[in-house]
Amino acid sequence: MSAPTRETSQLDADEHLEELIRLTDTAGATVEGTLRQRLDAPHPKLFIGEGKAAELRELTARTSADLVIFDGDLTPAQGKNLEDVLGTRIVDRTELILDIFARRARTSEAKMQVELAQLQYMLPRLKRMWTHLSRIRGGIGFRGPGETQLETDRRLISRRIRDLQGKLEVVARQRATQRKGRVDEMRAALVGYTNAGKSSILRALSGADVLIEDRLFATLDPATRMVELGSVGRALITDTVGFIRQLPHHLVASFRATLEEAVEADILLHVIDGSHSGWEEQKGAVEDVLRGLGLDSRRTVLVFNKCDRLTHQEEAQLRARVPALWNARAVFVSAVEANGLEELLELLREEVRARRPEVRVAIPMSDGEALATLYREGEVLGREQNGATIDFVVRLPAATLGRLRRRQGVTVSGAA
């Protein structure tokens, strides 16, 4: 059930309803019918108008549907009133997304994050949920939980929320410790709308096994992979959880530890499905989440993916349009075509080079270990033999440069 405002265009409304259908499919339900109403603002009592509610009740009875999903966030009162009118269970957009995350969670961290978001969503809605349970079980001897049981449950949920928040803070500290060991590597984070192809890009870049599925929110846990960039060095690329329009704030808050991988990244790679008709709206939805995380000023490059689905003319128009609109650096890629990621790879090489200034290093020819380290960890730009030593112009990571400076017989003369 979708209730767009008058400002929402017909095309946007269709796309929103299609996205809701995809979310429903991802959650494992079958859509029996759809209904839409255009409103200036949601009805305070029922979210939709009373006449439309009656129409929805008839549709629910005719299709024998046992669940009605609204493409919007319902207040606890609206949810209860709708259940009374329709006589069936009501789920709003936030609850649907929370259910999908619960199904997709695999690691203990993801499960804790989802549980925290679910409990925070559930707490103000306990009374409606208890009433719903009473109606389902019914019968003599079951008259509802009463206020005492409700208060007990509220205390238990509040205690569990605090417990989960404490455990996730420990996870955040562990992640921070892990990141300290990677300070010398250039780090990039893939962010973007769900199903934009972030995981496909990471797998194509790294060659490592990464779950890929043509469904919304295929992956929840951040996956970090090493990407080799030839003589330039390497980079650490992290695939973060996909975003979506009106992403529930409970989820953003509970997944903050996971999203800190993006917070700590040197550069954000905003992956956009360039073949999607609503990519501009999706781009805006992602930027809203990034703004909420305080990342709106972070250096970001737009990565238009799935260019293999565009004609040459469509891609040319996109390439001309993007810089004119946003004055942003953009690359255009395809994760499925041979050499389809070359623009992105060259961008990563530029980022690594920028972190490694050119220096002159003189190494004795007899110091095989130092020579091997220089070739293994640096990018050699030039070399010249000078008697018993070899003079190099090279780009090196800060840690390697520090080790060579301390090595006897090796001379580092500063910037080349």
At position 11, the amino acid (one-letter code) is L
d(CA 347, CA 87): 56
Angle between helices 108-122 and 93-104 (to 10 degrees): 160
More reliable by pLDDT, 398 or 275 = 275
The residue whose two tokens read 């209730």 is: 3
Q: Mean per-residue pLDDT for 88-116?
A: 86
Say if residue 400's pLDDT is above 90: no
pLDDT category at 296 given cuts 50, 70, 90 is confident
Structure tokens at 16: 């929103």
Task: Round to whole Å and give the CA distance between 234 and 186.
Answer: 7
Q: Does residue 198 share a domain with residue 275?
A: yes
Residue-wise pLDDT for 137-168, tens only, equals 444 333 444 456 777 788 888 999 999 999 98
The pLDDT, as a whole number, for residue 402 is 85
Question: Residue 212's domain is classified under what CATH number?
Answer: 3.40.50.300
Both tokens assigned to 198: 């972030």
Secondary structure (DSSP) of 216-233: TT---S-EEEEEE-GGG-
* Residue that is written with structure tokens 């017989």 in the block: 409
Evaluate if residue 123 carries a pLDDT over 50. Answer: yes
pLDDT at position 27 is: 87
Residue keyed to tokens 């009740």: 57
Asked if residue 407 and residue 348 are part of one domain, the reply reads no
Q: How confident is the model at residue 179 (pLDDT cuts 50, 70, 90)?
A: low
Task: For residue 215, give the 3-state DSSP assignment.
Answer: coil
pLDDT of res. 216: 61
The answer as to whether 144 is a domain residue is no
Q: How far apart are CA 313 and CA 331, in angstroms?
A: 16
Shared domain check, 384 and 264? no
β-partners of residue 304 are 272, 332
Mind giving me the DSSP string for 271-329? EEETT-TTHHHHHHHHHHHHHHTT-TTS-EEEEEE-GGGS-HHHHHHHHHHHHHHH---
Check whether residue 247 and residue 211 sit in a common domain.
yes
- What's the total number of domains in the chain? 2
- Arithmetic mean of pLDDT, 191-200: 90
Q: Which residue in 80, 77, 96, 84 sits closest to 1, CA to CA?
A: 96
Same domain, 395 and 340: no
Q: What does the pLDDT read at residue 275?
A: 94
Q: In this structure, is residue 405 part of a structural domain?
A: yes
Residue 369: the pLDDT is 92
401 within domain boundaries: yes
Each residue of 323-367: pLDDT tens digit? 777 878 999 999 999 899 999 999 999 998 888 878 999 999 999
Q: Side by side, which strands form the sheet with 379-386?
A: 379-386, 389-395, 358-364, 411-415
Q: Which token pair is 352? A: 């690594």
Residue 415 has pLDDT above 60, yes or no: no
Of 62, 63, 126, 58, nearest to 86 by C-alpha is 58
Domain extent at residue 369: 357-415
109 in Cβ contact with 258 (< 8 Å): yes
User: What sign results for the dihedral spanned by CA atoms 38, 43, 48, 53?
Assistant: negative
H-helix segments, 50-125: 50-63, 76-86, 93-104, 108-122
Give the per-residue pLDDT at 141.
38
Within a domain: residue 391? Answer: yes
pTM of the model: 0.78
263 and 214 co-located in one domain: yes
| Same-domain check for residues 240 and 267 | yes
- Tell me the backbone φ, ψ of residue 405, rounded to 5 degrees: -60, -35
pLDDT at 70: 94
* Three-class DSSP category at 174: helix
Residue 165 burial (CB < 10 Å; 0-12/13-18/19+)? Answer: middle
192 shares its domain with 277: yes
Asked if residue 346 and residue 231 are part of one domain, the reply reads yes
Rounded mean pLDDT of the chain? 83
pLDDT tens digits for 46-92? 999 999 999 999 999 999 999 999 998 899 899 989 999 999 999 99
Domain boundary among 353, 374, 405: 353
Domain of 385: which CATH number?
3.30.70.240
pLDDT higher at 387 or 132: 387
Name the domain boundary from 321, 353, 385.
353
> What does the pLDDT average to over 296-322?
92
